[in-house]
Amino acid sequence: MKSHLDIAKDHVAEALRPGDRAVDATAGNGHDTAFLAEAVGAAGGVWAFDVQPQALDATRRRLEANGVADRVTLVQRGHERMREALPPEAVEGVRAVMFNLGYLPGSDKTCTTEPETTLPALDAAAALLAEGGVLTVVCYPGHPGGAEETAAVRRWAEQLAPERFGAFGYRFLNQNNDPPRVVIVERRKM
């Protein structure tokens, strides 16, 4: 059975091609960043955001170990500020944006993403998406504040204009431990 992270990556992999541009809105330990860097290839570009220096250090190490650091720009800013931090070529059309909400695994669990910054980041990401692009959000309702953020993300996705976006979600139904949720948003081709 695929994990919630695998489901998000499968949708992104369908949208990305070599030479594309992508954003990891929550770099964390760099797993999604490295995945995106592999998918866009040497001609593509990835911008990875995180507010925590240790997250960017971990991401840098992972990218170097995978030989893809040259196609990634690490940005120490909150994801809500992604649009202003991206160069013009990225603002003109990103094919994928990935969010993995919550806290940095192996670190201070009190430093978490919050709806106050996540919702503006989702708005910015949706505005950046090229036609046919995809945005994924992995939500973790089991930690303090996580259920509220998960609900806010769901409400955000539900209000997207259906003529511009398709939005759907995944949830494991037979797990009792408040499993992660995955929200997928696809920008429709006009």
What is the average pLDDT across 51-79? Answer: 96
Token pair listed for 132: 């046919």
* pLDDT for the residue numbered 41: 97
Checking if the pLDDT of 118 tops 80, the result is: yes
* pLDDT for the residue numbered 185: 97
If pLDDT is split at 50, 70 and 90, which confidence band does 69 have? very high
Q: What is the pTM of this model?
A: 0.95
Q: Name all domains of the chain by residue range, CATH numbers in brackets.
A: 4-187 (3.40.50.150)
* pLDDT for the residue numbered 154: 96
* pLDDT for the residue numbered 144: 84
- Given strand 21-24, what is the order of strands in its sheet? 72-75, 45-49, 21-24, 94-100, 129-139, 181-187, 165-171
Closest CA to 16 of 164, 127, 132, 128: 132
Backbone torsions φ then ψ of 140, nearest 5 degrees: -125, 95
* pLDDT for the residue numbered 111: 77
| No. of helices (H) and no. of strands (E), the chain | 7, 7
If pLDDT is split at 50, 70 and 90, which confidence band does 104 have? low
* pLDDT for the residue numbered 93: 86
Contact of 156 with 170, CB cutoff 8 Å: no
* pLDDT for the residue numbered 173: 81
Which residue would you say has higher pLDDT here, 108 or 90?
Answer: 90
